[in-house]
Amino acid sequence: MNKEKNAKIRGSWYTVNIKALTNQTTENYIRVFKKLIENDPLVPLQGSKHISIDKFDYVGGIDNPRMIILTLCAYDIMDPDAFYDIKKKQQVMVDISPDVVSNKKDGVLYFVPKTHRLMILKSSKISLKQVVKYFTIGFEMIEEKDEFDVNVEVSSELIETIKNSHILYSLEAQLSYSNSDPSEGFVKLFGGEVKDAGAEKVDIKMRGGKGRSLKAKDDGLIDAILQLVKSNGTAKARIKKTQESSPETVETKNFPEIVHLEGKQDNLLTVIVKYLTGKFGTDGREDKS
C-alpha cells in the first residue's frame, strides 16, 4: 500500500476555463456543478455516441469543496432496430435494455471552483473536444442559454509566436472578458471595458496594409486581445514567423496549453489545486454582478 502511495504520477494535462458570464463567484460555480451532477444531462456527441456523468466526488465536503472530481463516460446507445443478420440477409430487431450501451470510454476531470478551471489528462480516453462539448451543451440544458463560457486554455508559446512573428498579416478573434483572472496594464483595462460594455462576445478582425505588418507591441491592443484569448476565446492569425519562412495560418483551437505536472499518488489532488490557484487564483476579487 505504501508503495502505491509513494508512486510518482507524471502526466501532461489540458486546462479548461469554465466561466460564468454573471455572478462570477466560487459559490455559483459550486452550485452549477451540483446541478449538473443532480440532473446528469445526456449530451449527444456524434451519431449514436453520447456522454454523461459516471462518477463524482466532492473533495473537502459537499458544501464548500476545494475540488469536484467528475468521471465522464462516453458510449454508443444501441438502436434495437439497427441490427442485421448476415446469414439470413435480413434486418432483425434485438431486445436490448436502454441502459445497456457499447464502446464505453471514460475520463476523469478535476475541477477547482476557486479558479473555475478543470484539468484533464492529455492521455484521457475522452477527448478534449468531447469535454468542451459536454459542458457547453450540458450547461445549456440545465441553465439559461449563454450563462457560461467554456474555453480551452491556449498555448502560451503560440500566443508569443503570433505576437513576435516577423509579419502579422491579419488577426481574427472571438473573445469575452475574464473572470477576474490576474492581469495588469492595458490587458486589464481592455478586458474591463469589454465587460462594462455589457458584451458577452466580441468579434475582432484586423488586417495590416498591403505588405505591412500589424504592430503587436507589449501592452498594446493586439497584446491585450491575445492575452484575453488565451483563457477566454479563440483566434486565427495569418503570420510569417521569420523573414525566411513562408506565410501560414495558425488557429488557437489547434494549440491547447499542455501542462506537465508530477506528484505522488497520495498528493496528486494537492498538486493540481496548487498549480491552478497559483496561476489563476482570483485574489478574492469575485464579481457578483
Cell of 201: 462576445
Angle made by CA atoms 161, 163, 169, in degrees to the nearest 5: 100
> According to the model, what pLDDT value does residue 238 have?
96
Instruction: Give me the pLDDT at residue 15, please.
Output: 98
pLDDT at residue 147 in the model = 87
CA distances from 178 to 20, 111, 115 (A): 9, 18, 12
Q: Binning pLDDT at 50, 70 and 90, where does residue 1 land?
A: very low
Mean pLDDT over all residues of the chain? 87
Residue 25 identity (one-letter amino acid): T
What torsion do the CA atoms of 59, 127, 225, 30 make, to the nearest 10 degrees? Answer: -20
User: Model confidence over 122-164: pLDDT tens digits?
Assistant: 999 999 999 999 999 999 999 977 789 999 999 999 999 999 9
The pLDDT score that the predictor gives to residue 184 is: 57
Mean pLDDT (whole number) for 169-175:
94
Confidence label for 72 from pLDDT (cuts 50, 70 and 90): very high
> Stretch 97-126: mean pLDDT, rounded?
92
What does the alpha-carbon distance between residue 168 and residue 163 come to, in Å, rounded to a whole number? 8
Q: Is 81 exposed, middle or buried (0-12, 13-18, 19+ CB in 10 A)?
A: exposed
Amino acid at the residue 58: Y
The pLDDT value recorded for residue 282 is 56
d(CA 179, CA 127): 25
